[in-house]
Structure 1
Amino acid sequence: MLDNTIYIDNMRIQVFLCAFNDMPAEIETREKRQAAILRILREQTVGRQTVLVDLLQQQGIEATQSSVSRDLKQLGVMKLDQGYAPPDALPTDEERDEAIFADFIRDIQTAGANLTVIRTAIGAAQRVAVCLDRSGWPEIIGTVSGDDTIFVATGNAAGQRRLVARLQEQTHH
């Protein structure tokens, strides 16, 4: 019985040491895989995790869908319409708003000294108004939007001119 106990204790110690010795290799493998994931995502558009697994394996890097899924989460990678994007490739809120203004604003007109009327693509007024509201532009007092029209109130004519100039710059109108 004593021999078995010693053998079991020795075996447990050996298993523990083996597991401990494998940990740095696992960390190194994960770091290498994560670096490769970021490199791949910066070089090409990837829309599915299985495609990413295949690309990693083509580079000789062991990967499974579950390991890639964990890596994407740890790296802060986001899934966008066009595919996965690393955090440093994501547009800022300001860049997204500028793109929305450029894509959806059709016309900008003034109505008096404090009111600016913005025409948008059909159904886009609410989205554009939200971007205006969160912009933090000091000249904007408030917005009211319909389906394709936004009324923007400014404090005075100078604020209105600044607003119109900003919007024209971003929409190229």
Structure 2
Amino acid sequence: MKKQERHHLLKQLLADNIVYRQEDLVKLLAKRGIKVTQATISRDIKQLQLVKVPLNDGSYRYTLPSEKEVDTAVKLKKTLQDAYIESDVHNDMCVVKVQPGNGPTVASLIEQMRYPEIFACISDDDTVMIFARSIEWANSYQQKMLQMVKED
């Protein structure tokens, strides 16, 4: 199971269950046929920014952080400024190289922006492949992205 799928499932499990410990998440995933280690769950908790909140009985449970209003455009610009390495365009595709670990974040932010010139994005750890709706739009988006990287 891919990390993004596991993160989605963990969010569902937290919504449907009271989870006191990391081991509880390992067991809930195992019941669904998904084998993970406690170390993997520990990393997932950090990446999902899960927090422990107190319950009335004095115990604590894991929950998702409260949703913050974040300007996606500002977050995309900041992430690109921090992680961008290089990009290139070929026909209607734009490939973007970023610092390791930033590919999924950049792709997600680009998709959240719902740019009309972009058909879809896929990513791995350090690369984002952007599929534009035309050759012109691929070039246009690359220029837009380069401008974000250069702005203060």
Question: TM-score scaled by structure 1?
Answer: 0.45
Aligned residue among 135, 138, 149 for 1:157 = 135
Equivalent in the alignment of 1:129: 107
User: What's the CA shift for 1:93?
Assistant: 2.3
CA deviations 1:57-98 (Å, max 9, x no partner) are xxxxxxxxxxxxxxxxxxxxxx9xxxxxxx9xx752221221
Q: Tell me, which stretches of 5 or more residues in structure 2 are unaligned?
A: 1-65
2-side partners of 1:159 and 1:124: how far apart? 23
Q: Tell me, which stretches of 5 or more residues in structure 1 are unaligned?
A: 1-78, 80-86
2-side partners of 1:134 and 1:91: how far apart? 12
CA contact (8 A) 2:92 2:133 kept: yes
- Aligned-pair identity (%): 14
User: What's the CA shift for 1:172?
Assistant: 2.1
Equivalent in the alignment of 1:95: 74
Equivalent in the alignment of 1:7: none
Counterpart AA for 2:80: F
User: What's the CA shift for 1:138?
Assistant: 0.7
Equivalent in the alignment of 1:168: 146
1-side partners of 2:102 and 2:71: how far apart? 20
2-side partners of 1:93 and 1:110: how far apart? 24
Question: TM-score scaled by structure 2?
Answer: 0.51
Higher helix share: 1
2-side partners of 1:129 and 1:93: how far apart? 12
Aligned residue among 81, 93, 109 for 2:88 = 109
1-side partners of 2:74 and 2:80: how far apart? 10
Question: Which aligned pairs between 1:11-90 and structure 2 lie closer than 5 A?
Answer: none
**Larger RCO (CA under 8 A, 6+ residues apart):** 2
Please tell me whether Structure 1 or Structure 2 has the larger radius of gyration of its CA atoms: 1
1-side partners of 2:94 and 2:72: how far apart? 23
2-side partners of 1:153 and 1:93: how far apart? 20
Equivalent in the alignment of 2:10: none
1-side partners of 2:142 and 2:149: how far apart? 10
Equivalent in the alignment of 1:146: 124
Count of residues in correspondence between the two structures = 86
CA deviations 1:133-173 (Å, max 9, x no partner) are 11111111001101101111011111112101110000129
